[in-house]
Amino acid sequence: MYLRKITGYASLVILSACTTYTPIKLPTKVSMPQSPDAIVVQPAQLPFDSLHKHIFNPADGFDSDELAMLAVANNPQLRQTRDSLGVVRAQAFAAGLLPDPQLGITADHPTNGGVGTMNAFNYNLSYDLNALLLRSSRKNVANFDTERINMELLWQEWQVVSQTKLLFTRITAQDALMQQLQAARNLWMQRYQASQHAMIAGNVTLDFASADFVALQNTDRQINELERNLVQNRASLNSLLGLAATAQVALVGEAHPLTLDAPAIFANIENRLITRPDLQALKSGYESQEEKYRGAVLAQFPALNVGVTRARDTAGLYTMGFGLSLSLPIFNRNRGNIAIEQATRKKLLNEYQNRLNSAHSEIALAVENLPLLQKQLQHTKQGVEALQKLAQRADEAYQAGNLAAPDYVRLQIGLLDKKTEAINLDEALMEQRIALETLLGPDLPELRSSK
């Protein structure tokens, strides 16, 4: 009777501590902001100094940093990764919980007994000591996995920031190029209309009038291509920000990546790289695997389960006993799992080394490309200045009738192409600087101080 009461009370306590189930229905409507104003940004909670110290004021448009703040706050892929971080944190919590004891109850009712027979019962309370032995290993694995996902999230946020700045740079460069092409088109349209009237009046020949038309068609072709690229880049930006495809985002200013020089970069390149979040994630993954390997080694020892029993047989005899079960490591000895974890550890070690090597090579290549792009941009700007002076003189000669129309058109098209080349090179140089800043990783002093 006493044991029944204990069992009943224990059942009530256990049930009262259980979590209740509440269903959540899947959404049936699209949930995408139609405007960036609908996105809530809290700068103090953003991960990088360049973001959480930046003033967020969308009233006058979005500069590259404000755009990056929007992306980090509302990017759909980042939200999924944050959900994954919540899952591994829950797993770490579960791994730290103590294993529950096991309670077994059996009852026997005699069906053909004589006088004096009664119902028999057996209560068995046991505990798996092996699960307790492996608890520290499981907990360490879960903690390292949590750190791995946390660093993967940080690296993904850094990639989103960089991708936002790249799209910002491309769109602003294309907007500048579009303004130039539209101005050129207006000029060619005016010239074409004037030459058409002059040709109808018999003042100019067909080749003179057709030269302006050829230039107009060439400019229209470039405008059409640029419009398609702008639409694609705008759509990519909206997707990155988690906005509806029709949302309009006003961009202002230009991207300002860090100014870096080769000696400063390579002076401390190894320390900078090992604190990069993706390498930190691989490091945590490797340490998690070390714990799995250690756990597999511990699991080769005999599994021990201990318990106590309280029983009564059908004759009314009460007994109190002690139980112990022990696996005999004769055939298996967990050798298969040990081999798997050991091979996986080697794989992760090589993966870390390869990522470190490739990161160093990518940075070296980016640093090498910067002077080349800077030199090409300088030469191209000099070419633009020279062509502008030549085009001004050619315009005067063309108006005076001293320069053939085809030659004049070729010179104007050459000037337009050179200006386009300068804009594209300036964009490429900016993108290369952003790429280099991305490869170096964010400045994380808290990680460096812990090493």
Task: Give me the CATH number covering residue 190.
Answer: 1.20.1600.10
Identify which of 12, 24, 50 has the alpha carbon closest to the alpha carbon of residue 255: 50
- Span between the terminal Cα atoms of the chain, in Å: 61
Q: How confident is the model at residue 141 (pLDDT cuts 50, 70, 90)?
A: very high
302: in domain: yes
Q: Which residues pair with 323 in a beta bridge?
A: 307
Least confident of 55-64, 208-217, 224-233, 315-324: 208-217
Give the model's pLDDT for residue 287.
Answer: 95
Q: What is the pLDDT of residues 183-216, one digit of tens each?
A: 889 888 888 888 788 788 877 667 777 777 888 8
pLDDT at 325: 84
Q: What is the pLDDT of residue 426?
A: 92
Q: Residue 36 falls within a domain, yes or no?
A: no
Query: 334, 299 in Cβ contact below 8 A?
Result: yes
Q: Is the pLDDT of residue 447 over 50?
A: no
Q: Is residue 21 part of a domain?
A: no
pLDDT band at 449 (very low <50, low <70, confident <90, very high): very low
Highest mean pLDDT among 92-96, 239-243, 256-260: 239-243
Place of tokens 């390869």: 354
**28 lies in some domain:** no
Strand bridging mode 120-128 / 102-108: antiparallel
| pLDDT tens digit sequence for 73-124 | 999 999 999 998 888 888 888 888 888 888 999 999 888 867 778 889 999 9
**Residue 167 domain flag:** yes
User: Which pLDDT belongs to residue 14?
Assistant: 60
Domain presence at residue 22? no
**Considering the domain boundaries, does residue 189 fall inside one?**
yes
3-state secondary structure of 42: coil
Contacts of 202 (CB under 8 A, 6+ apart): none
Place of tokens 């130039």: 180
Domain span at residue 134 reads 42-440
The amino acid occupying position 344 is T
435 vs 257: which has the higher pLDDT? 435
Q: How far apart are CA 161 and CA 67, in angstroms?
A: 8
pLDDT band (50, 70, 90) for residue 49: confident
pLDDT band at 19 (very low <50, low <70, confident <90, very high): confident
Helix, strand or coil, per DSSP, at residue 254: coil
- pLDDT at residue 387, rounded to an integer: 92
**450 in a structural domain:** no
Separation between Cα atoms, residue 278 and residue 172, nearest integer Å: 30
What Å distances lie between residue 45 and 40, 243, 433, CA to CA? Answer: 11, 21, 26
Interval 398-416: pLDDT, tens: 888 788 777 877 888 888 8
CA-closest candidate to residue 390, choices 403, 375, 377: 403
Work out the percent of the chain whose per-residue pLDDT is above 70. 93
Q: Kindly state the average pLDDT of the residues 426-446.
A: 84
High-pLDDT (> 90) share of the chain, %? 42
Average pLDDT of every residue of the chain: 86
- Percent helix, strand, coil in the chain, to 5, is 70, 10, 25
Map residue 245 onto helix, strand or coil: coil
Q: Tell me: pLDDT of 148 over 50.
A: yes
pLDDT attached to residue 445: 47
Q: What is the mean pLDDT of residues 219-229?
A: 93
Report the pLDDT averaged over residues 241-258.
86
- β partners of residue 120: 108
Angle of helix 135-200 relative to helix 277-298, nearest 10 degrees, comes to 150
* Mean local confidence (pLDDT), 411-431: 90
Q: Which residue has the tokens 């309009």?
A: 248
pLDDT band at 450 (very low <50, low <70, confident <90, very high): very low
Residue 10, pLDDT score = 58
- Indicate the number of domains in the chain: 1
pLDDT for res 16: 61
Over residues 379-393, mean pLDDT:
92
Most confident among 109-113, 229-233, 269-273, 321-325 (mean pLDDT): 229-233
